[in-house]
Amino acid sequence: RRPEPAAKPVAKPASTGHSRADSFQAAAPSAPTKNTWSGDQPLSQARNAHRTNTKEQFQAALDSDANWFEGDVRKELNRNSPEMRHDTGHEDGDNLTLHEWLTMGKASGRGLKLDIKEGDQMPAVLAELEKVGIREDRLMLNLGFEDMKKWGPEIRERFPNAILAINPPPTDGPVKAGDAAKMVALAKELGGPATFVVRHDLLTDGAIQTFLPAGTVSVWGESKDPVKAGEDLRARGVNGVVDIAGPHGNSWGDKVDAAKNWVKTGWDKLF
């Protein structure tokens, strides 16, 4: 028998300049139609995967019935580029870059909510959104009140049909009608679709009534009974995204992981 020809060496792909997650490709097939999102659906039908920052979280979201994916944006710890990370320091899992998250999110057909934790990352965020070409009816941008005042006009100019998630001005307690009026005024100034986002246990009935003529009301937070909390909020008039999770981060395992990540963050900053 003739000897088998030697296998040709495979060239290594060129570096992309992103993190070690560059080669991650989600394993799930295309989303069922019921899990995709389009702008003609009301936000009350949104099923939000609250954290999709890491490979592991993103894959879990793809395997779920979520039709919205939420990711948090910060500057990478050791690079001057944005990545998907909720905490100021390290967290469990392999974090995706913003480019990777947007590319895979676009392919999934889900709605994509970016929670911008650090406003100075907005120039890079807007550039990546245009580069990847996210459909505006599948895009929501969430910033703190002051950051929205600063960046909202540019967001609206470049993405006129994206949903702006407007948060309350700084407050030490419940969000009342006066706080809500400031949020409504900002929404009217910026124009276009908006949703008013408040932590569910800080939302007052006065705020709800102030919000409703101007846009949808969305909530987030934790509850011992998320289902009942969601039903109660709907009964009070909440007509946007209801994103209530069970208690998180209170177990001993969670606290041990938090301590490990604190040490890793300190090590990274030193070296």
Rounded CA gap, 260 and 225, in Å?
A: 30
What pLDDT does 172 receive? Answer: 85
Smallest Cα–Cα separation from 26: which of 110, 88, 114? 110
What pLDDT does 16 receive? Answer: 36
pTM: 0.82
What pLDDT does 192 receive? Answer: 96
Rounded CA gap, 113 and 96, in Å?
A: 15
Superfamily classification of domain 43-265:
Phosphatidylinositol (PI) phosphodiesterase (3.20.20.190)
* 121, 220, 233, 248 from 199: Cα distances, Å: 24, 5, 11, 15
26: CB partners within 8 A, 6+ apart: 58, 59, 62, 104, 107, 108
What pLDDT does 1 receive? Answer: 45
Report the DSSP beta bridge partners of residue 72: 115
Q: Are 215 and 190 in contact (CB under 8 A)?
A: no
- Angle at the Cα of 239 from the Cα atoms of 210 and 234, rounded to 5 degrees: 100
What pLDDT does 78 receive? Answer: 80
How many C-alpha atoms does 7 have within 13 Å on its Cβ side?
3
Which regions in the chain score pLDDT beneath 70? 1-31, 248-271
